[in-house]
Amino acid sequence: MELGLRGKVALITGAAKGMGGAITRAFVLEGCAVVIVGRDVTALEVLAGEIRATQPDAPILVHACDVTSAESAEQVMRVAVERFQQVDILVNVAGGTGPVGTTAWETTAEEFEQILTLNMTGCFNMMRAVLPGMIARRYGKIVNVGGTFGMHGRAGRMSYSASKWGLRGLTKSTAIEAGPYNINVNIVAPGMVDGDRFRSRVVPEVMKRLDCDEATAVAHHASDYALRRISLDTDVANACLFMASDVSRQITGVDLPVDGGWAAL
């Protein structure tokens, strides 16, 4: 199926690592110009170099951005427009995990505020920066990367869960407000994604608890999901492509869990 993304301009936050890198590569392969932003410019330049090694003509702009700063978000938007004239797509990947294994009463006010600022205010700042241009052109796609703990509470992850629940409200309300301007605003909500964190933290914990090998630990974790497999970063990237394309033109304000069947079942 032709997604019709060729020639579109996508602004992607948190692009340097993990899912962000996979999402960036996916948009480049679809023919998009990409503006990749984050705090770690060195890591972004490495990603851009890797992409250019196989696609030397790929239009990529790397720029520093602290999404928790409204001024930084607005400055990135100005730079993107100077280079590419417009931004058609915003993919908000930047985010954090917050305290892990900490109850609500053990979480400090500073820890709670920090993760809310990164996971919610960061998305708000970027949306606020891109929406005026999208409204003027009567076209835009915003994809916020949430998480399944924002659809299903989780003990020991209260701060993260709260931030992703809040992102849902931000997304749904903005979808209603921006809809009359032909702007779609949605959430892609990954569950556990196979990668460094899963292999270095989650799997060893399961291995220790069950006294088993790595393959058994992975299979045990996957047994919680209807499809009995762990998501890949490319699964999340493909969902973002779908939501950013006109193939999903009649979908807005929704949460799309990419978790093999857990949060929604």
Q: Which residues are catalytic?
A: 160
- Dihedral (CA of 168, 169, 170, 175) sign: positive
Beta bridge partners of 121: none
d(CA 245, CA 8): 10
d(CA 61, CA 52): 12
Beta bridge partners of 186: 143
**What radius of gyration, in Å, describes the C-alpha atoms of the chain?**
18
